[in-house]
Amino acid sequence: MIERELGRGGMGTVYLARDRKLDRPVALKVLPPEFAGDSSLRERFLRETRTAASFSHPNIVPVHAVEDAGGTLAFAMGYVEGESLAEHVARRGPLDVRGIVRVLQDVGYALAYAHGRGVVHRDIKPDNIMIERATGRALLMDFGISRSMVASPAMAPGLTRVGEVVGTPEYMSPEQATGDTVDGRTDIYSLGLVALYALTGSKPISGSSAQNILAKQLTELPPPACSLRADLPESVGAAIDRCVRKQPEDRFPSAEALVEAIDAAQAAGPEIPLPVRLFAQELATLSLLIMFFVLMSPMLVNATSAGGRWDALIPLSIMAAVMFTRVALTFVAARRLVESGFHPDVILRGMQGVVDERSSLIAMYKANARVQARRRNTVRIARIMSVIAVVLIVFAISRGREIEPHKWRLGVLGLTAGITAFIMFGVSIMLFMKSPFRAPPAERILKRFWLGPVGRAFVRLAGRGVKADAGSSVSFAPAGPVSQSPPVQQAPVNTSGDRLAELEARLAALERNRTGQP
């Protein structure tokens, strides 16, 4: 029973349906009509889809059934509650480093499984990678479909076929673009281009036509990954750069080798234990309290000395009592962590990890054109509100009249204008200060104070003389330097205009021969 349409493109239309026999949701893909008119193509598709249906892997969307009836060719696959990588990046912008590493690992595991069974995907692209909403897991789908695609006027612009070449030009390996024999390394090349797309939100190789893009795949080197994102660790950048080398022998020899390189580097970074993360939040909150106390104390002391009113010391005393109590409670919390098995050095590394996460997030936002555009609009609105607030204050002053020295009467309009002006000033100040490109004040204090000598002494003092519970020692490894593979000398790439024109002409000739055009 079909419930609703999920999407459509050159490869057909996908519907959300319900399997009545097993009472479960499935994604039903109905393939284009050209599949029904070509018996050899239909048989090839059915054969390859049955092969994909035999797969059983947590990072591959399973194929449940294939339907071939009444001139309609369709297959049912597992429904993933989530969105494709292309949709995710379009909606939220480039992935952070942890997300990119997760995609490389998950899809790498899926490719290792498929390659081990003699199947090459040949159409690795963001649209064929699903991100599960609940877990963030990446799943690869549409095994075998790319091999059965056929060019037609209704085909989506991103799909092409030249001779026996099928796939998406922007993510196609050089050997696939020329119709040469391919193996698992062609999928590794495509996965590297997918990683570059996830880094920036834009295709690393593009052009005005399919032939132009394929020619660039043969001649144009993608930019180094680390040059695209400042927060990308060199180890991850080196792995991505190795994936997109033009010569297959210069890439990782297998998907297993790619995953092992990422795993050995601990490229995803350490997983910060939840108690340590909560303690870092506690320190950030304490930082705000200390900052408020430092700002308010001089004003209260000045009010006391200037007016001789010692009652002004009451709020100061209350604030001091609250602050010192909070410091003591935070000290107890740090001591409790040590008693639970967290060594002070582990706590400090976790705090550093929290700060590094924020730095990575800021770098990701700085690389996102949409976030930059929204920030410019926010600043523009804040400036307009500031100007309006100044105009309202001038209006309020003009409406006021002095009824006695230092006492003014504004009237209803003047009072309303004045209150509105101060509200708009407050909002505009917050809009200026709350920037996605700058860490909040609490986290800046966490970085400069609590990760400095004073903060380190505070944590170590809290753990002095404490004996951890037997068998409860907890640790996690920091992301360390990675031993990178020795550089591989790539064959020189001829990127001259004559070479590009020659390749484009060759690709166009292959296409004419395939379609029987003169």
Q: Residue 486: pLDDT above 50?
A: no
Architecture of domain 82-269+494-515 in this structure: Orthogonal Bundle (1.10)
For strand 72-78 and strand 82-84, is the pairing parallel, antiparallel, or unpaired?
unpaired
Q: Which of 243, 303, 218 is nearest to 505 (CA)?
A: 218
Task: Quote the DSSP letter at residue 500.
Answer: H
Q: Which residue has the higher pLDDT, 466 or 260?
A: 260
Residue 487's pLDDT is what?
45
Q: Which helix (H) or strand (E) holds 265?
A: helix 255-265
For strand 72-78 and strand 24-30, is the pairing parallel, antiparallel, or unpaired?
antiparallel
Per-residue pLDDT band for 442 (boundaries 50, 70, 90) equals confident
How confident is the model over 392-404, as a mean pLDDT? Answer: 81
485's CB contacts (< 8 A; 6+ apart) are 238, 242, 261
Residue 505's pLDDT is what?
65
Residue 254's pLDDT is what?
94
What is the number of other CB atoms lying within 10 angstroms of the CB of residue 412? 8
Residue 36's pLDDT is what?
59
Torsion of CA 256, 261, 263, 267, to 10 degrees: -140
Residues of the chain with CATH 1.10.510.10: 82-269+494-515
Residue 479's pLDDT is what?
42
d(CA 260, CA 248): 18
Q: Residue 178: pLDDT above 80?
A: yes
Residue 270's pLDDT is what?
56
Which segment of 360-364, 426-430, 499-503 scores lowest on mean pLDDT?
Answer: 499-503
Which segment of 109-123, 271-285, 470-484 scores lowest on mean pLDDT?
Answer: 470-484
d(CA 349, CA 343): 10
d(CA 281, CA 274): 11
Q: Residue 477: pLDDT above 70?
A: no
DSSP structure string for 275-290: HHHHHHHHHHHHHHHH
Amino acid symbol at 185: R
Amino acid symbol at 160: T
pLDDT digits (tens, 9 = 90+) for 55-86: 889 999 888 887 777 667 778 888 888 899 99
Residues of the chain with CATH 3.30.200.20: 2-78
Handedness of CA 47, 63, 155, 71 (dihedral sign): positive
**pTM for the structure as a whole:** 0.63
Residue 35's pLDDT is what?
64
Which sequence positions are flagged as catalytic?
123
pLDDT digits (tens, 9 = 90+) for 399-425: 777 777 766 777 788 888 889 999 998
d(CA 208, CA 120): 28
Residue 504's pLDDT is what?
63
Task: Quote the DSSP letter at residue 75.
Answer: E
Per-residue pLDDT band for 171 (boundaries 50, 70, 90) equals very high
Classify domain 2-78 at the CATH class level.
Answer: alpha beta
212 SS3 class: helix
